[in-house]
């Protein structure tokens, strides 16, 4: 089971990833398999966004609660996603807006990482390398 949280409110007195560590331990004890770690959008706040700006929240909860986490937040390239996974900063990378901007993100990332992936049958002619 996945649970999505907003680990940081970007406001004084708001939630933080560190505060969520204890809650993540409780969730793990109740059978949660992965925490999908997002941030913001709970209360009005100014958020300074940059590539991977939410990844450290997933990293904090993963380390503190010993639970699998999913990272989000302006993850736009295959190399960036691979770095997050290979360095153990999160166990999964979740994409949303980037897939709206680029519905061929998986294909682009595979090419960037020099990994061959099999296209859907309907796309074979268009995906020839």
CATH code (residue 18): 3.40.50.12600
Note the pLDDT of residue 33: 97
Residue 129 pLDDT exceeds 70: no
pTM for this predicted structure? 0.87
Note the pLDDT of residue 87: 98
Q: Is residue 79 included in any domain, yes or no?
A: yes
The domain of 26 spans 2-102
Residue 50 pLDDT exceeds 80: yes
pLDDT above 70 covers a percentage of the chain that reads: 98
Q: Is residue 113 included in any domain, yes or no?
A: no
Q: Is residue 57 included in any domain, yes or no?
A: yes
* pLDDT single digits (tens) 64-115: 999 999 999 999 999 999 999 999 999 999 999 999 999 889 989 999 999 9
Q: Is residue 123 included in any domain, yes or no?
A: no
Number of folded domains in the chain?
A: 1
Structure tokens at 112: 């960037």
């Amino acid at each position: 089971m996945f649970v999505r949280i907003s680990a940081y409110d970007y406001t004084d007195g708001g939630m933080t990833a560190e505060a969520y560590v204890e809650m993540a331990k409780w969730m793990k004890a109740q059978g949660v398999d992965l925490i999908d770690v997002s941030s913001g959008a709970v209360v009005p706040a100014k958020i300074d966004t940059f590539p991977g700006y939410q990844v450290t929240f997933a990293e904090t909860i993963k380390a503190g609660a010993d639970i699998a986490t999913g990272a989000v937040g302006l993850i736009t390239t295959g190399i960036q996603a691979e770095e997050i996974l290979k360095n153990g900063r999160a166990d999964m990378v979740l994409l949303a807006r980037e897939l709206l901007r680029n519905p061929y993100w998986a294909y682009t990332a595979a090419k960037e990482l020099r990994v061959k992936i099999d296209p859907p049958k309907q796309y074979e002619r268009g995906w020839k390398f």
